[in-house]
């Protein structure tokens, strides 16, 4: 661990998640999009730096291991791990998968992406969202903010979120938008700086609807009033 930044309710660590996760307490939810190791699959596709099997991508696209999975599951009550179809040999059986339907067909990249979810008995869910609608990409595999907000909203009684492969910080921005505490870990200094900037900006511009709902809940708790349905 070489650097820690605190931004509002977010704490960001620059370093290897295998070293940092065991030092942290357990959180409600882990929502992450780890490296898939696509070069090892001999797949080709396009991203911000070139094809997935290029030297540029190989510098960071190292697949996660059983050690990563064990640490992530120990650090959180619920997990949503994108790229779950690449890690079927590492993850236990589950009924619930999340599918991001990109509303495209037959292009050189996938029509959809799949996340493994730890809520074993819950149903699979699909999120329809075109990549063309996404915000400016600052990481080769950056997920849309709307998708990560949707993921977090599906986790019951969620107040704290962690992403051990934070990248450019989209999960953190989504968590901040929704009024949750966030912990992020990123090993690359360049992407860490981008995540700090984006999460700081999100903290300075909170979602007013979320803040009003949160304040109303605090007042109800203080007055011991029943929450209206």
CATH (domain of 177):
3.40.50.150
Which one, of 32, 29, 34, 69, lies nearest residue 155 by Cα? 29
CA–CA separation, 207 vs 213, rounded Å? 10
Per DSSP, 134 falls in state S
Indicate the number of domains in the chain.
1
Domain, as residue range, for 140:
3-223
Within the chain, what is the greatest distance between any pair of CA atoms?
60
Residue 85, in any domain of the structure: yes
| pLDDT, one tens digit for every residue, the chain (229 residues) | 679 999 999 999 999 999 999 999 999 999 999 998 766 544 434 343 444 444 544 556 677 899 999 999 999 999 999 999 998 889 999 999 999 999 988 777 789 999 999 987 889 999 999 987 767 888 888 999 999 999 999 999 999 999 999 999 999 999 999 999 999 999 999 999 999 999 999 999 876 545 544 544 445 556 665 555 5
In a domain, 160, yes or no: yes
Ramachandran class of 46: left when φ > 0, alpha when ψ lies in -120 to 50, beta otherwise: beta
What six digits make up the tokens of 99? Answer: 């599918």
pTM beyond 0.95, yes or no: no
First to last CA, the chain: 45
Does residue 177 lie within any of the structural domains? Answer: yes
Q: Which helix (H) or strand (E) holds 99?
A: strand 97-101
3-state secondary structure of 27: strand
Cβ atoms of 57 and 39 within 8 Å: the answer is yes
Instruction: Answer positive or negative: Cα dihedral of 68, 1, 52, 112.
Output: positive
Distance between CA 58 and CA 43 in Å, rounded? 12
User: Is residue 229, in this structure, part of any structural domain at all?
Assistant: no
């Amino acid at each position: 661990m070489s650097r820690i930044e605190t931004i509002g309710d977010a704490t960001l660590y620059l370093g290897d998640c295998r070293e940092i996760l065991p030092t942290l307490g357990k959180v409600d939810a882990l929502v992450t999009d780890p490296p898939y190791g696509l070069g090892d699959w001999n797949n080709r596709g396009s991203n911000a730096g070139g094809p997935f099997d290029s030297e540029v991508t190989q510098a960071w696209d190292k697949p996660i291991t059983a050690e990563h999975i064990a640490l992530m599951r120990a650090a959180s009550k619920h997990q949503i791990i994108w790229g779950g179809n690449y890690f079927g040999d590492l993850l236990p059986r589950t009924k619930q998968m999340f599918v991001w339907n990109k509303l495209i067909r037959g292009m050189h990249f996938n029509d959809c992406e799949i996340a493994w979810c730890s809520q074993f008995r819950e149903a699979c869910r699909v999120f329809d969202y075109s990549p063309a609608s996404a915000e400016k990409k600052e990481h080769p595999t950056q997920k849309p903010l709307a998708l990560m907000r949707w993921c977090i909203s599906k986790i019951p009684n969620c107040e704290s979120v962690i992403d051990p492969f934070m990248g450019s910080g989209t999960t953190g921005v989504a968590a901040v938008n929704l009024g949750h505490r966030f912990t992020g870990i990123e090993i690359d200094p360049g992407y860490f700086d981008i995540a700090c900037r984006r999460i700081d900006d999100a903290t300075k511009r909170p979602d007013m609807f979320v803040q009003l709902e949160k304040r109303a809940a605090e007042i109800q708790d203080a007055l011991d009033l029943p929450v209206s349905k």
